[in-house]
A = this chain, B = another copy of it.
Amino acid sequence: MRIAARHSGACQDGALAYKILPMTPIAVSPGTSHDTLLTALRDALGARHVLTDPEDLAPYLVETRRLFTGSALAVLRPASTEEVAFAVRACTQAGIAVVPLGGNTGLTGGGVPSGGVVLSLERMTRLRAVEPVDATITVEAGMILQDVQDAADAAGMLFPLSYASRGSARIGGGISTNAGGIAVLAYGNARDLVLGLEVVLADGRVWDGLKALRKDNAGYDLKQLFIGSEGTLGIVTAAVLKLFPKPRSTSVAFVGLDSAQAALDLFVFLRGRMDRDLTAFEYLPPFALEIVLRHVPGAVRPLDGAHGAYALIEAASARPDADTRAELEAALGQALEDGLIADATSGASGAQNDALWRLREGVPEAQTREGASIKHDISVPLSRLPAFLDRASAACVAAMPGLRPCGFGHFGDGNIHFNLTQPADMKPADFLAEWGRFNRIVHDIVHELGGSIAAEHGVGLIKRDELEHYGDPVGLDLMRRLKAALDPQTLLNPGKVVAAPERDPPAV
């Protein structure tokens, strides 16, 4: 008996080039009916937390960009690690797939089910501990990122992981996707912030790796398996995270430069001079600033005149004597004198700093208002950023005159959101139908430059076949071996990240 229709995760927007490849059909193991399973789950989790009504399921089946709609037998909302373990064991013993879901803010369709059950971590929101001396916080996977930040702040510390969806993203999702964001330059990706994990495995066992240690070489570093593997190897239920001293001085500057190459030169200059006080270096092309000023309420032009490129720079330190504004202004004064930059302004207050940040953070919203976008989340070695931006922009415009490239983002991490805004006179659906063609153009350049086609948003569903296309065969084979070792039935978030190996169709 099959419960997941092939192609069940169909594209909502018929114009999109994506299609969800047929996944391995999910067979229920002999002797277990859905009703038996659902009854057992209702008994364990409470009837209110086993959703099966189509109306109740709907919000769990659509991802944030509305590119895909999935299907599921049920949505489970366990409230504890034990309940997660029970649910996973019950489902996988019955041959039912389990798709974990955090805040549903992922950008690659990693949480879209194609049959099976959705396991939402939304009720696991407990703050288990804050230890200011250890500089750690222990949280459950369903805690909202903003709440983690606030809990750290209340303890006089900083939890630096931060991105636009922090008000609804859940920390387990950030860990499972190794999320990046705006503080990676100084503090690293989510992976770098995790000291310990608690994980429910495919067979329902719980791995308790909730260590709060800065050094631990007692065997293989198992937590690394689960960070960034998007719920395909295990389900993160709790984590011990690093905290940092809270900055006492934070300053922001906005700079006009001639080109992406000038931005790179400035970044290298500032990195060497400001050292670990340099906490962000974000990039905007002129088009990005232009649409932010056009569409984002309250956005004010930060510099007179027009420039070939812009950078937003942040400096921060907890040192009581640190004057990061003076530090930043002195460095930029030198850069101006040396001809590295054309113009610069710095925030004179927290409110002004926030206003400068909004110019950068407003880009995705402005892009949405400007029309349809085809998006890429790529990284290259820092030295190749200018070449990437020049080549990819030229290739895309050559492929479709009138298209407006908008490569912006985390320049200091080598990470660009290389988004393409439609030509002004084109129908959005016609433009979006070209998604696959532009992926190929852009990703070919990324690949040639030694970069990654999935820098900070992960692979999910949307880039699984791109990974298959560009991935080194040895690396892909290793990924499949890991998947087979940890999830031999391919029931944890199946069809995401790595395609399942060829296998015989199950006997029905």
Contacts and interface: CB of A to CB of B under 8 A. Distances in A.
A232 B215 CA distance: 20
Interface stretch (A199-207, A282-290, A425-433): A199-207
B133 A382 contact: yes
Stoichiometry, as copies per complex, reads 2
A457 interface: yes
A178 interface: yes
A487 B213 CA distance: 29
Given A214-B379, A216-B454, A245-B271, A207 B471 contact: no
A114 interface: no
Q: How large is the interface on A (under 10, 10 to 19, 20 to 34, 35 or more residues)?
A: 35 or more
Given A319-B274, A452-B216, A208 B474 contact: yes
Nearest to A413: B214
A192 interface: yes
A222 interface: yes
Contacts of A220: 225, 228-229, 233, 478-479, 482, 497-498
A228 B217 contact: yes
B135 A222 contact: no
A46 interface: no
A105 to B, nearest CB: 15
A221 B232 CA distance: 13
A135 B272 CA distance: 10
A472 B382 contact: no
Interface in A448-492: 450-459, 463, 467, 470-472, 474-476, 478-479, 481-482, 484-486
Interface of A: 131-136, 177-178, 180, 184, 188-189, 191-192, 201, 205-209, 211-222, 224-225, 227-229, 233, 245, 247, 264, 268, 271-277, 317-322, 327, 330, 379-383, 410, 413-415, 450-459, 463, 467, 470-472, 474-476, 478-479, 481-482, 484-486, 497-498
List the 3 closest A-B pairs by CB distance, nearest first.
A224-B224, A485-B485, A275-B318
